[in-house]
Amino acid sequence: MTAHWIDPSTFVRGHAALACKRVRGRHTYDVIGNEIEQVHSAYGLNSKVTAIVTDNGSNFIKAFRMFQKSDSDEESEEDEEVTFTDVEQTLSTESEGQFSLPPHLRSNEAKFIYRSATSKCSAMWTKANCSSVASELVDNFFKKKLIVPVSTRWNSFHDALSRITDINLAELNTVCTQFGIKCFTNREYLFLKEYCIVLKPLTVALDILQGEENCYFGILLPTLEILMSRTLALQDELKLTASLPDIIAIKVRFSSMMDNKEDLLAAVTLPKFKLSWTREEEKKDMVRAMLTTECHHKNPEDDCTYSAETEVMEYLKSAGSELGVLSQFPRIKAISLRYNTATPSSTPVERLFSLGNLVLTPRRNRLSSERFERLTLMRYNNFFKNNTAK
């Protein structure tokens, strides 16, 4: 688990690793929820976490569905009548759900051609990666190496296919023949080229959303809007993969976020976007009204000489795109810090996993789980020591 925050005075994003611990037994939703709660309690974060970003693991999703505290829960607590309970019985009985989690934010013919084309690509990658003779043949013939996909790098499959489609079909099939692999057909080669064209905007979007230092949650909606428009714009140029933009189904996959209050407020309170990321005038009016309403609920630290409506109007008219502009608008600054602290993806945790591979080396195969966690956290958090030294 990693933690991310924004310095309210400098708007610099900070991060730290909180846990990389072994969970014994089955990783059921209640066990996961309890582990998250324990880490938060250990660092005194229970009331400070604005949101948790995870992958789409079913147990994670169920944990938040079962234990996430809703607004209705808070309202019902005020009206709830007092009841008396046997303390001894309560403490001696295990019961699930005695904790709550923060909000959860959650990567035909064409199919036949895809399978046949990518299977030939996989055979080439295996040959070039496992045989020194085959690797030398690729180097001598293509004057560059093939890229082998890596499961932990989201864009590596696209990059690997792009490297293959950069090669002339005749040259590609010459090497296939020498490898003893079935040659690519014209339709398979055309399919791979179109596949890479369609996925290019997606890879650019993923590179943006995998950022950490200057990547805020409000980047998500503008990136998705641009991705949808660019992907659908390619549809008329495609022959074999014309249905692929619809299959990617970005709008369907993220439909719940497109009109989500928190996501919209995060986007509009980033000065570089404001309302420029959406072309729908009706949506712009809705977001403007939503921001004004939210400003009415905020009590800025500094005294404001103008109303919430005026602050929103002046903010949307301001020319600056840097986060420092928010210092002129105290209400909007508070909203931005509230909704932009979360990262738009779970990539920071993936990086923590990768760092663990450098700690758990073959010569350290007798490390205990506790010592492994301490070494990993020390390695990830070493910038705190460096900053202190300065």
Q: Range with the lowest mean pLDDT among 53-62, 76-85, 185-194, 282-291? A: 76-85
Length of the chain: 390
Distance CA 307, CA 315 (A): 12
Residues 290 and 223 in one domain: no
User: Does position 288 have pLDDT exceeding 90, yes or no?
Assistant: yes
pLDDT bucket at 1, cuts 50 / 70 / 90: very high
User: Does position 58 have pLDDT exceeding 70, yes or no?
Assistant: yes
Residues 117 and 194 in one domain: yes
The whole-chain average pLDDT of the chain stands at: 82
Residues 227 and 279 in one domain: no
Residue 121's Cβ-count burial label (10 Å; 0-12, 13-18, 19+) is buried
Contact 105, 52 (CB under 8 A): yes
User: Does position 301 have pLDDT exceeding 80, yes or no?
Assistant: no
User: How many domains does the chain fold into?
Assistant: 2
Residues 114 and 222 in one domain: yes
Residues 318 and 240 in one domain: no
Residues 295 and 333 in one domain: yes
User: Does position 162 have pLDDT exceeding 60, yes or no?
Assistant: yes
User: Does position 62 have pLDDT exceeding 70, yes or no?
Assistant: yes
Query: For the whole model, what pTM was predicted?
Result: 0.71
pLDDT digits (tens, 9 = 90+) for 246-283: 555 666 777 777 888 999 999 999 999 999 998 889 99
Q: Which residues of 190-209 are buried (b: 16+ CB within 10 A; e: fewer)?
A: bbbbbbbbbbbbbbebbebb
The residue segments making up the domain with residue 314 are 259-342
Residue 153's Cβ-count burial label (10 Å; 0-12, 13-18, 19+) is middle
Q: Which of 349, 355, 339, 356 is nearest to 18 (CA)?
A: 349
Q: Which of 101, 39, 33, 41 is nearest to 68 (CA)?
A: 101
Residues 244 and 322 in one domain: no
pLDDT at 107: 44
Average pLDDT over residues 83-90: 47
**Residue 121 belongs to a domain:** yes
Maximum average pLDDT range among 101-105, 213-217, 312-316, 381-385? 312-316
Residues 225 and 315 in one domain: no
Contact 228, 249 (CB under 8 A): no
pLDDT at 81: 46
**Residue 39 belongs to a domain:** no
pLDDT at 129: 86
- Per-residue HEC secondary structure of the chain comes to CEEEEECCCCCCEEEEECCCCCCCCCCCHHHHHHHHHHHHHHCCCCCCCCCEECCCCHHHHHHHHHHECCHHHHHHHHHCCCCCCCHHHHHHCCCCCCCCECCEECCCHHHHHHHHHHHHHHHHHHHHHHCHHHHHHHHHHHCCCCCCCCCCCCCHHHHHHHHHHCCCHHHHHHHHHHHCCCCCCHHHHHHHHHHHHHHHHHHHHHHHHCCCCCCCHHHHHHHHHHHHHHHHHCHHHCCCCCCHHHHHCHHHHCHHHHCCHHHHHHHHCCCCCCCCCCCCHHHHHHHHHHHHHHHHCCCCCCCCCCCHHHHHHHHHHCCCCCHHHHHHCHHHHHHHHHHHCCCCCCHHHHHHHHHHHHHCCHHHCCCCHHHHHHHHHHHHCHHHHHHHHC
Average pLDDT over residues 296-312: 73
pLDDT at 270: 93
**Residue 370 belongs to a domain:** no
User: Does position 324 have pLDDT exceeding 80, yes or no?
Assistant: yes
Residue 298, amino acid: K
User: Does position 94 have pLDDT exceeding 70, yes or no?
Assistant: no
pLDDT at 290: 93
pLDDT digits (tens, 9 = 90+) for 119-141: 999 999 998 888 888 888 888 88
Residue linked to tokens 């712009």: 284
Distance CA 1, CA 12 (A): 20
HSE-CB at 276 with a 13 A cutoff on CA atoms is 11
Tell me the CA end-to-end span of the chain in Å, nearest whole number.
27
**Residue 44 belongs to a domain:** no
Distance CA 46, CA 101 (A): 8
Tokens of residue 326, six digits: 């928010």
Contact 162, 203 (CB under 8 A): no
Distance CA 118, CA 116 (A): 6
**Residue 225 belongs to a domain:** yes
pLDDT at 243: 64
**Residue 5 belongs to a domain:** no
Residues 164 and 246 in one domain: yes
Average pLDDT over residues 175-201: 90
pLDDT at 87: 44
Distance CA 390, CA 385 (A): 9
Tokens of residue 111, six digits: 């199919």
Distance CA 371, CA 350 (A): 20
Percent of the chain with pLDDT over 90: 34
Residues 221 and 270 in one domain: no
CB atoms within 10 A of CB 24: 8
Average pLDDT over residues 292-317: 79
Residues 137 and 184 in one domain: yes
pLDDT digits (tens, 9 = 90+) for 207-239: 888 877 788 999 999 998 888 888 878 777 777
